[in-house]
Amino acid sequence: MNLYTLMKNRRSIRHFSDKKFPRKTIELVLNAGLLAPSGADKKPYVYIIIDDPVLKEKIKDRCEEIDKRLFANSEGWFKKWMLEKQISLEKNFLVDAPYLVVVAGETNKPYWLESTWLSIAYIVLAAENEKLATLTYTPGEMDFLHDLIEIPFNFEPVVIIPIGYPSKRASKINKNNKKKIFFNRYDSD
Ligand X SMILES: Cc1cc2nc3c(=O)[nH]c(=O)nc-3n(C[C@H](O)[C@H](O)[C@H](O)COP(=O)(O)O)c2cc1C
Q: State the residues that interact with ligand X by CB under 6 A.
A: 11-12, 14, 87, 135-138, 175
Q: Nearer Cβ to ligand X, position 12 or 17?
A: 12
Rounded least distance, CB 12 to ligand X, Å: 3
Rounded least distance, CB 82 to ligand X, Å: 8
Rounded least distance, CB 75 to ligand X, Å: 16
Q: Nearer Cβ to ligand X, position 24 or 83?
A: 83
Q: Which residues have a Cβ under 8 Å from the Cβ of 173 and sit 6 or more positions away?
A: 11, 85
Rounded least distance, CB 90 to ligand X, Å: 12
Q: Which residues have a Cβ under 8 Å from the Cβ of 96 and sit 6 or more positions away?
A: 15, 16, 17, 18, 162, 164, 167
Rounded least distance, CB 175 to ligand X, Å: 6
Q: Nearer Cβ to ligand X, position 92 or 136?
A: 136
Dist. CA 58–CA 48, nearest whole Å:
16
Rounded least distance, CB 83 to ligand X, Å: 13
CA 22 to chain centre: 20
Dist. CA 59–CA 101, nearest whole Å:
12
User: Is 151 within 8 Å of 143 (Cβ atoms)?
Assistant: no
Q: Nearer Cβ to ligand X, position 12 or 25?
A: 12
User: Is 130 within 8 Å of 29 (Cβ atoms)?
Assistant: yes
Q: Nearer Cβ to ligand X, position 23 or 171?
A: 171
Dist. CA 49–CA 76, nearest whole Å:
35
Q: Nearer Cβ to ligand X, position 91 or 109?
A: 91
Dist. CA 92–CA 83, nearest whole Å:
17
